[in-house]
Amino acid sequence: MMRAVTDAQAALTGLAGQPVEAAEFSSQVSAALERTLSFDGWCLFGVDPDTGLRTLQFGGRGTERTAEMASNEALMNDVNKYADLALAPVAAGWLSLDHPEARRSFRLHEILLPQGFHSEVRLALRDHGRLWGALVLFREDPRRPYDDSDTATVCAIAGPLVDAIRAYPVRQLPRRGSAPGSGVVALAPDNRMIAVSAEAQAWLDDLVPGGDDQTYASDVTRVLFDAAHAVRCGDSSRASTCIRTIGGHWLRVEGTALPVGDADVAVVLQAATVHQLLGTLAACNRLSGREKEVLALLVRGLAGKQIARELTISLLTVNGHLQSLYRKCRVTGREELLGRLA
């Protein structure tokens, strides 16, 4: 088992930041996971560490009941919720009929068991106190439920998996075709989609990895439900995020109150602006506070000397920050960096 875990760690470490298509990323992650644990369904997703909204998702079986899972995570008291695991001493946990709190788990009895899954193991992907996403594996065999040893195994691959998820949105990826126009999805209080514009559907379709990955358009709607939940809670600061689509475009998702007819929330999907992307680029590339300031001035078109005057530091120091910024962003210079944000 130790050799299998080591091999999986190496595979995931090598995947971080690589310019692979979404379907290939999914395939390589799945293959790495299969080296460590058996499973009949799986889901790996990333979230915006500032807002908690989903920014990517991969998987194979087990994610079909997206709206119910969103409600379970946001509104119910259940076992091993991702938000709880993110703060727990151990970032992983298992759930089956053998769990001491199984009786109270809506997710187990109303979502997993009806789909034929008798156990799951969850792993919160956290780094320096920030939640970047999570992994969940599902198993059908009631005679082989996940247990503490499986929890330890997924914890062993957490580090390289976090790095792969964190770097995924900002990897080098050419854009294909034109970005859709602005679109909107109107949601009812129970997350029923009252209306979906053609442009919004085009954006959602461009979040589906394709290939052998079994994530579908109905699965990626989770970001809509989570944005709507933030709006309903009155937390507008957590109702928006930026997402890199499969075609290489940058999408801005923003929820807003819309009490019209049966709808109570509208989620707008449109191309992200460069300034909206600064936080995402800084977080995914682990930029320092000063590097963030330099980046913000860089995208405003300021030259090195102007940045130095603005920040009251030497040009030599500015150039040092720029070199570090370019290295972390895996670009050769200003033009390539700005091209990534276009």
Residue 58 shares a structural domain with residue 149: yes
The residue among 218, 252, 274 that closes a domain is 274
pLDDT beyond 80 at 342 = no
pLDDT beyond 70 at 12 = yes
Query: What's the CATH number where 50 sits?
Result: 3.30.450.80
pLDDT at 128: 87
| Tens-digit pLDDT profile for residues 51-89 | 999 999 999 988 888 888 888 998 899 999 999 999 999
pLDDT at 339: 82
Supply angle C-alpha 17, 220, 79, rounded to 5. Answer: 95
Report if residue 178 sits inside a domain. Answer: no
Query: What's the CATH number where 193 sits?
Result: 3.30.450.20
Global pTM?
Answer: 0.92
Return d(Cα 316, Cα 323) in angstroms, integer: 11
Return d(Cα 311, Cα 307) in angstroms, integer: 6
The residue among 144, 170, 196 that closes a domain is 170
Query: What's the CATH number where 334 sits?
Result: 1.10.10.10
| Tens-digit pLDDT profile for residues 86-116 | 999 999 999 999 999 999 999 999 999 999 9
Residue 7 shares a structural domain with residue 142: yes
pLDDT beyond 90 at 173 = no
Residue 113 shares a structural domain with residue 237: no
Report if residue 197 sits inside a domain. Answer: yes
Return d(Cα 263, Cα 209) in angstroms, integer: 29
Residue 122 shares a structural domain with residue 23: yes
Residue 138 shares a structural domain with residue 248: no
Instruction: Give the Cβ contact number of residue 166 at 10 Å.
Output: 22
The residue among 219, 240, 274 that closes a domain is 274
Report if residue 280 sits inside a domain. Answer: no
Residue 41 shares a structural domain with residue 163: yes
C-alpha distance from residue 92 to each of 83, 173, 314 (Å): 11, 32, 46
pLDDT at 1: 66
Domain that holds residue 244: 183-274
CA–centroid distance for 78 within its chain: 22
Structural domains of the chain, count: 3
